[in-house]
Amino acid sequence: MKTIVCDQPDHLSYQERPTPVVTQGQALVRIRRIGICGTDLHAFRGRQPYFSYPRVLGHELAGEIITVGDGVTDLKIGDAVTVMPYLECGDCVACRSGKTNCCTSLQVIGVHQDGGMQEIIRMPADHLIKAPGVGFDELALVECMAIGAHAVRRAGLSVGENVLVIGAGPIGLGIMQFARIAGARVIALDLDAQRLEFARNWAGAAATVQGGDEHSKRLVDELTAGNGASAVFDATGSAQSMIQGFDYVTHGGRYLLVSIVDATISFYDPDFHRREMTLLSSRNATREDFHWVLQCLADKKLDLVPLISHRCRFDRLIQEFRAWTSPGSGLVKGIVEV
């Protein structure tokens, strides 16, 4: 089967690999769509934590079941599925408390082990979620949206509260959508005017602020009656942005770091204590978040297709990928058809 391997930073190559064989509790999935996300772009550029080369990228996946192993009863050949790419141990302190997304020995396909940039992938059957009536394009975006849904669930938003989302990439846009669904008033902050327009038109942001200068905080204060946001989410992947984000949080508010960066994040402790701020991280997603995304799709609360800005066939991905990673490409979400 055809496979695309990231051999080293800035280089992809095609390889032929044997089709895997299933054992008990596993299934083979013929990949139909691959979503390209920030993790893939950072790994390609050599800036992804927890990463080693060579690696098959790809963890935003949709496909159809072609083989099931012994003991698999809830999936059948032909089922369309989305893939939960987080492989937890099931036994550690996090797993026992239901927090499988932060398992102490978590393995994420496409990061810690080979992912879905291949024609067929073998997965534990209990990490495949079928969704009748949902198209492959949307199924490939469920994982991305689940990260936003998980962050919003961590925040425990209330109806009507002011929420600031810093970073209007796919993860940030997903946070905006689920904050809106929770009834919050969303303010989007980004450097890119086009992404802010998309945040208004697609994610339902009530207001937008173009960052990059000293006026950003003043504008956010004006939009929140001088109080700041009661919940601030950073989805930028920028250490500088993550440090600056503390300034936007109101007294008694919470700050959620959704993006991850290979850097030290610091803050001025007297301000942090004066506001009794809550600092939270949000990592990956759980099965509950995947099902919530699928429920929102079924209820027509979400339309994911407009997120797709770029598309190509699997046999053209290497040629297209470098252009997609270039500044000015306009990439929101790329989809690869297999």
Q: What percent of the chain has pLDDT over 70?
A: 100
For position 329, what pLDDT does the model report? 85
Residue 203, pLDDT above cutoff 90: yes
Residue 276's contacts (CB-CB under 8 Å, 6 or more residues apart) are 251, 252
Amino acid identity, residue 42? H
For position 47, what pLDDT does the model report? 78
Residue 293, pLDDT above cutoff 90: yes
Tokens of 114: 């080979």
Residue 199, pLDDT above cutoff 80: yes
Residue 183's contacts (CB-CB under 8 Å, 6 or more residues apart) are 157, 158, 159, 160
Task: Provide the CA 113 distance to its chain's centre, in angstroms.
Answer: 18
CATH topology for 148-281?
A: Rossmann fold (3.40.50)
- Reported as a single tens digit per residue, the pLDDT across 52-67 is 899 999 999 999 999 9
Residue 28, pLDDT above cutoff 80: yes
Tokens of 102: 């932060």
Tokens of 4: 């695309």
- Reported as a single tens digit per residue, the pLDDT across 208-263 is 999 977 799 999 999 999 999 999 999 998 999 999 999 999 999 999 999 988 89
Q: What percent of the chain has pLDDT over 90?
A: 91
Average pLDDT across the chain, whole number: 95
Identify the band that residue 330 occupies on the pLDDT scale cut at 50, 70 and 90.
Answer: confident
Q: How far apart are CA 132 and CA 207, in angstroms?
A: 36
Residue spans of the domains in the chain: they are 2-130+304-337, 148-281
Q: Are 233 and 253 in contact (CB under 8 A)?
A: no
Q: Name the E strands within the chain.
A: 2-8, 11-16, 26-36, 60-68, 80-83, 86-87, 107-108, 120-124, 128-130, 162-166, 185-190, 207-210, 229-234, 249-257, 278-281, 308-313, 333-337
Residue 321, pLDDT above cutoff 80: yes
By C-alpha distance, which of 113, 95, 115 is closest to 104? 95
For 2-130+304-337, CATH number?
Answer: 3.90.180.10
Strand partners, 285: none
- Reported as a single tens digit per residue, the pLDDT across 87-141 is 999 999 999 999 999 999 999 999 999 999 999 999 999 999 999 999 999 999 9
Q: How far apart are CA 279 and CA 58, in angstroms?
A: 30
Q: Are 246 and 271 in contact (CB under 8 A)?
A: yes
Q: Of the given ranges (39-48, 169-178, 296-305), which has the lowest mean pLDDT?
A: 39-48
- Reported as a single tens digit per residue, the pLDDT across 205-223 is 999 999 977 799 999 999 9
For position 304, what pLDDT does the model report? 96
Strand partners, 12: 6
- Taking the whole predicted model, whether its pTM rises above 0.85 is answered as yes
Residue 143, pLDDT above cutoff 90: yes
Cβ burial of 77 (10 Å; 0-12, 13-18, 19+) is exposed
- Reported as a single tens digit per residue, the pLDDT across 63-88 is 999 999 999 999 999 999 999 999 99
